[in-house]
Amino acid sequence: EAGVAQSPRYKIIEKRQSVAFWCNPISGHATLYWYQQILGQGPKLLIQFQNNGVVDDSQLPKDRFSAERLKGVDSTLKIQPAKLEDSAVYLCASSSPGRGTTYNEQFFGPGTRLTVL
Amino acid sequence: AQKVTQAQTEISVVEKEDVTLDCVYETRDTTYYLFWYKQPPSGELVFLIRRNSFDEQNEISGRYSWNFQKSTSSFNFTITASQVVDSAVYFCALSDENRDDKIIFGKGTRLHILP
C-alpha cells in the first residue's frame, strides 16, 4: 500500500513570495492533516479535513495560509505572502478508522522543507 | 492547557547500550492519551505507541518498553540493546478524550547511536 505522498520535497523562496504544497493521502483515508514543524520543535497541527470539510483550522494563520481539499482526496496548502518565520517542514498526514478499533492512527508523509530567505 | 516536556534535547549512546527517553506531561483532563513517535532522517513520523490514561500497565514490544507513571505524570521510553538504526528524533505527545486525533507534541529528543 502506498504511503502519504508530498511534493515538492524542498522549496526555497524569498519573503513575500507565494508557495504551494501538495499532499496525496493514503487511498481511502477520509481524514487529512497539515502540520508545521519548525526546526527543533514538534509538529503543530495547522488544519484538519474530514473528506472535503474543515474540522479544525484554529491554528492556521488565515491571513496568509490557506488550504483546500477538493473532492476529498488530494490537498494543497498555500502560503501567500511568505515570511521568514514560515521556514519549516510542512508535514501531511492521513487517517481512517481501523477495523475493530476506534483509534485513527495518523500516517505521515516525508514532508516539504520550506526555506524563506 | 496541555503540555509535553522532553527535557533531553540530544542523547548519544554507544551501540548495544540501553537508553531511556524522558517525557513529562501536563493536562487537566482525567482521560487522555499519550503517544510516542519516531522521526528518522527521512522525515516522516512513525507511530510507536498510544496509551490510554486509565491503562498504567507498562508495555514491552521487542527492544522497546514504556513506563507510564500517572503519579509523576511521566511516560518514559526505553530502548534496550540500542542499534544504529534507532538513531532518530523521538517525540512524546498527548491528546484528550474529546479530540484524540488532535495531538500535542513535545519538542523531541534527538538520539544518536554510535557504532
pLDDT tens-digit map of B23-54 = 999 999 889 999 999 999 988 899 999 999 98
Beta carbons of B47 and A105 less than 8 Å apart: yes
More confident residue, A91 or A98: A91
pLDDT value of residue A104: 72
Q: Give the C-alpha separation, A33 to A16, whole Å.
A: 25
pLDDT value of residue A68: 95
In the block, cell 526505553 appears at B78
Portion of chain A with pLDDT greater than 70, in percent: 93
Closest CA to B11 of B85, B111, B113, B115: B111
Q: From residue A38, how far is each of A3, B42, B60, B72 by CA, in Å?
A: 23, 16, 31, 29
- By the 10 Å C-beta count (0-12 exposed, 13-18 middle, 19+ buried), A94 is classed as buried
| Cα radius of gyration rounded to whole Å, chain A | 14
Instruction: Tell me what the mean pLDDT of segment A94-111 comes to.
Output: 76
pLDDT value of residue A101: 52
pLDDT value of residue A102: 56
**A residues 9-48 lying closer than 8 A (beta carbon) to B:** 31, 33, 40-45, 48
Q: How confident is the model at residue A114 (pLDDT cuts 50, 70, 90)?
A: very high
pLDDT value of residue A100: 43
Is A54 in the B-facing interface, judged by CB distances under 8 Å? no
Indicate the SS3 state at residue A84.
Answer: helix
Least confident of A1-5, A32-36, A73-77, A81-85: A1-5
Beta bridge partners of B100: none
Beta carbons of A108 and B103 less than 8 Å apart: no
Enclosing H/E stretch for B24: strand B24-26
Least confident of A90-99, A107-116, B34-43: A90-99
Which residues on chain B are in Cβ contact (under 8 Å) with A42? 4, 91, 93, 105-108
Q: Strands, DSSP E only, in chain A?
A: 5-7, 10-13, 19-24, 31-37, 44-50, 53-56, 65-68, 75-79, 88-95, 107-108, 112-116
Instruction: Tell me what the mean pLDDT of segment B82-87 comes to.
Output: 96
**Distance, CA of B87 to chain centre:** 14
Beta carbons of B44 and A109 less than 8 Å apart: yes
Q: What is the pLDDT of residues A15-73, one digit of tens each?
A: 999 999 999 999 989 999 999 999 999 999 999 999 889 999 999 999 999 999 988 89
Q: Give the C-alpha separation, B23 to B51, whole Å.
A: 13
CB pairs under 8 A between A and B: 53
Q: Within 13 Å, how many C-alpha atoms sit on residue A114's CB side?
A: 29
Whether residue B57 is predicted with pLDDT greater than 90 in this model: the reply is no
Q: Within 13 Å, how many C-alpha atoms sit on residue B44's CB side?
A: 15
Q: How confident is the model at residue A98 (pLDDT cuts 50, 70, 90)?
A: low
Least confident of A73-77, B55-59, B89-93: B55-59
